[in-house]
Amino acid sequence: MNEKLGKIFNLLAPGKPIRKGVDRIMEANLGALLFFSSHPEDNIKEGLIQPGFELNCDFLPEKIYELSKMDGAVVLNSDGTKILYANALLNPDKNIPSSETGMRHKTAEKIAIQTGDLTVAISKRRNIISVYYDKLKHELLPENVLFARLNQEITIAQRYRQSFMGLLEYLNIEEIKEKVSLRDVVEVISKGMLTICITQKAERYLLELGEIAGSVRLEYEEILRSVPKLVGSVIMDYSVENLSYQRPEEALEIFNDFGVDSLVRPLEVAKALGYNDIESEDELEEYGVSSKGYRLLYSTNLPSIVVRNVVETFKTLPELMKAKFEDLTTIPGVGKRRAEVILNALDKKKRNQEELNFLANSEEKAPKVGT
C-alpha cells in the first residue's frame, strides 16, 4: 500500500477524531479547507499562510466543526492534534499547475504540492472529501460504501480460495497416483495467485476503514496467512530449478511481474516455472511432472534448512516416500525426533494412497448395473 495513503488513512479513517470532525462538517452541508502544516512558522514567514485567529488549542471534532462555519482555512499541526489557526488565508505559488476547478480544491492541491503536507478540501456542493498529500489526490468514501466494497472483495477472494483448495486436494490425489501433469500444477498456482491478488485489493478498504473493519480483517488475514505459503510450496515443488528460498511464500516473487492477464495464461505460468520447452497449452496435459516434496515437508513445520537437506537427499517425493528411519537420521539437521515427524507425515500420505487403492478396487469389483 502507498505510504502516503497509509498516512491519510491513519488520520482520516472512520472513527478517528479528525474524521469525526470532517463527518460533522459533511452532515451540516458545510464546506471547509484543512491544512496540516509541518512547518507553520516558516509557512507564515514565506507568506504561504496569512493567519486569521491564532488558537493553538487541542483538537476536538466539535471545534473543527464550529470553525468550519467561518471563511478561510483551518491550519493544524502535521499530526492533527492541535488547531493552530482559523479563518486563515492560504497563498500557494500561482505557477503551480492544478487540475481542480473550484478555488477551495485548487488551493488545497497547490498547497499540498508546494509543501508536501496534507490538505483536506470538503465540498459543500458535491458533498465529497478530497485529500491531497504532496502530489497524491484521494477521495474519501463514506463508511457504508467502504464496507460494501470490502465485503465484495473478500467474498470473491473466499470463492477463489475455496476453488484453490479444491484444486490443491486434487493435486494431492494425483501425487499419490504419481500421475501429476504440468496442467494440474499450473492450474493450482494460477488459482492461488489470483486468490492472493484479489485479497490484496481489499487492503485499501481495510486501511481506510481502520479499526472499525472488525471481523472482515480477520478473514483477510487468514487468507494471506495460509494461501501464500501453500502456493509457494507448490512453486518450489514443481519449479524446474531447485529454488533456494528460506520460506515457501518467498517463491511467489517469480510472479512479481505477472498481472491478472498473465496469471490466467497457462503457458506463461509454465514458462515462469522454467518449462521453456513447452510450446503450446495442449502439451501441458501430457507433460508429466513430479513433486520435490517441499509441500509435504513444510507441513511438518520443520526448519527450512532441514527441509532443504531432505529434498536435496531424495530429489523427488516418490523417492522420499520410500525413506526409512535410518535414511533420515543420516541427513544433517534431522536426528531421531525430526525423522519421526517426517515419517508420520509420509505415513499419512501412504494411508491416503491405500484408501484410494481400496476405493479403486471396490469400484472395479462392483457388479455392473443395466448391462
Residues linked to residue 131 through DSSP beta bridges, in sequence order: 120, 138
Bridge pairing between strands 136-140 and 32-37 = unpaired
Q: Can you state the angle between helices 143-177 and 335-365, rounded to 10 degrees?
A: 80
Task: Catalogue all structural domains in the chain, each as residue range(s) with its CATH number.
Answer: 3-140 (3.40.1700.10), 142-291 (1.20.1260.110), 295-364 (1.10.150.20)
Burial class (CB in 10 A: 0-12, 13-18, 19+), 327: middle
CA distance 142 to 219: 22
SS3 30: coil
Q: pLDDT of the chain along its 371 residues, tens only? A: 567 888 888 899 888 999 999 999 999 989 999 999 999 999 999 999 999 999 999 999 999 999 999 999 999 999 999 999 999 999 999 999 999 988 999 999 999 999 999 999 998 777 789 999 999 999 988 888 899 999 999 999 999 999 999 999 999 989 988 899 999 999 999 999 999 999 999 988 998 898 888 889 999 999 999 999 999 999 999 999 988 888 999 999 999 999 999 999 999 999 999 999 999 999 999 999 999 999 999 999 999 999 999 999 999 999 999 999 999 999 999 999 999 999 999 998 877 665 655 445 555 555 555 54
Distance separating alpha carbons of residues 119 and 84, to the nearest angstrom: 14
Instruction: Give this prediction's pTM.
Output: 0.79
